[in-house]
Amino acid sequence: MKKTLLALISAVLLITVIQPAQAEDQKVLAIIDTAIDSKNVPSVIYEACFTLNKTCPNATNFMEGKGSASAVVWAKSVNDGIYHGDAMVKAALTVNPNIKIVFVRFHEVDSSGNSSAQADSLVRAIDWVSKNADKYSIDAVSISQSNIKNPALCTDKTTVNAVLSMSTKNIPTFAATGNDKKSDVVGFPACVEGAIGVGALYSLSQLEAATNRGPGLDLVAFGKISITKVNGSEYDLAGSSGATAVSASSYIAKNTSKTFQEYLKALLKVVINNVSYSLN
């Protein structure tokens, strides 16, 4: 009996010793987007939700834990914008299937499953990720969302401080520049100081036509990537959204204990219209 008890104690101690090491080795990407049904995505290890109209699953404006980033109602069409978050997670996993995901929902979802973005909720989501980056061992942040309607957001103190706080910890924030065909601006939060603005390539010598390419476009990647929708159908993503998820996931897969700036300098460069961009 004593031998059995000692064996059990030894096993428990062994598990206790191993688990922290495994946690340290785990690579984690925070994705801030529409919504996710984590029951179908085992890679999602934690969730949070921020809204303004009490549309989180618990009928309040904030929720965290399992199921928090889900929608109470999902749109019937898999082409609806609410499934954008699912697509970004799958794009990231296509590049790096071993990463874990902390998913933060900031979209409102109505009774028909339609989603809509709220800038204030996005600001709160970014701030939450920054404050919880150490707790969940987050290695990078991916935000495939873009807002060009309110330029004042680019200097929002909460967002600037959150992004810079993560930068000092070598946690880069990748943000889509947007797909508005603008040559003089990029969307929020790509325009925020310290954020890595990501645009989509059509070819090695050409950006996708819709990609915003104003000041703040720092990195380019091919936005086209094949994923499987929630109904099992195959789909080719395009645009700066996919390029952002791919870039963040690729960084986590490729980075070998370098600072992000060292990683950025080591990337190949492409020259488009006499402007040099880092290629992920």
pLDDT tens figures, 200-247: 999 999 999 999 999 999 999 998 889 999 988 998 998 999 999 999
Three-class SS state of 149: coil
Domain membership flag for residue 4: no
Q: Is the peptide bond before 189 cis (omega within 30 degrees of 0)?
A: yes
User: Which pLDDT score, from 0 to 100, does residue 223 have?
Assistant: 84
205 and 174 Cβ atoms separated by less than 8 Å? no
Domain membership flag for residue 102: yes
Within 10 angstroms of residue 104's Cβ, the number of other Cβ atoms is: 29
176 and 145 Cβ atoms separated by less than 8 Å? yes
What would the two tokens of residue 198 be?
Answer: 């990501």
CATH at residue 165: 3.40.50.200
Q: What is the mean pLDDT of the chain?
A: 90
Cα 132 to chain centroid, rounded: 15
Burial of 208 (0-12, 13-18, 19+ CB in 10 A): buried
- pLDDT at residue 177 tops 90: yes
CA torsion 19→140→162→136, rounded to 10°? -10
Three-class SS state of 29: strand
- pLDDT at residue 82 tops 50: yes
Instruction: Kindly report, residue by residue over 227-236, the tens digit of the pLDDT.
Output: 999 988 998 9
With a pLDDT cut of 70, the percent of the chain lying above it is: 91
Three-class SS state of 56: coil
Q: Which residues contact 25 (CB under 8 A, 6 or more apart)?
A: none
Q: Which residue range is the domain that position 173 belongs to?
A: 27-279
Rounded distance between C-alpha atoms, residue 246 and residue 137, angstroms:
19
What average pLDDT does range 132-158 have in this prediction?
97
Domain membership flag for residue 178: yes
Domain membership flag for residue 259: yes
Number of domains, the chain: 1
What average pLDDT does range 84-104 have in this prediction?
96
Which phi-psi region, left, alpha or beta, contains residue 137 (left: φ > 0; alpha: ψ -120 to 50)? left
Q: Which DSSP state fits 43? A: T
User: Which pLDDT score, from 0 to 100, does residue 8 have?
Assistant: 35
Domain membership flag for residue 10: no
Instruction: Kindly report, residue by residue over 24-74, the tens digit of the pLDDT.
Output: 568 999 999 999 999 999 999 999 999 999 999 999 999 999 999 999 999
Domain membership flag for residue 40: yes
- pLDDT at residue 9 tops 60: no
Amino acid at 211: T
Domain membership flag for residue 6: no
User: Which pLDDT score, from 0 to 100, does residue 25 have?
Assistant: 66
Q: What is the enclosing helix (H) or strand (E) of 88?
A: helix 84-95
Rounded distance between C-alpha atoms, residue 34 and residue 143, angstroms:
10
Q: Which residues contact 135 (CB under 8 A, 6 or more apart)?
A: none
User: Which pLDDT score, from 0 to 100, does residue 26 have?
Assistant: 85
**Nearest Cα to 244, choosing from 157, 165, 186?**
186
- pLDDT at residue 269 tops 50: yes
User: Which pLDDT score, from 0 to 100, does residue 19 have?
Assistant: 36
Burial of 7 (0-12, 13-18, 19+ CB in 10 A): exposed
- pLDDT at residue 20 tops 90: no
List Cα–Cα distances, 54 to 118, 243, 249, in angstroms: 12, 31, 31
Q: Which residues contact 143 (CB under 8 A, 6 or more apart)?
A: 31, 32, 33, 122, 126, 173, 174, 175, 176, 189, 244
Domain membership flag for residue 16: no
Rounded distance between C-alpha atoms, residue 9 and residue 4, angstroms:
9
- pLDDT at residue 10 tops 80: no
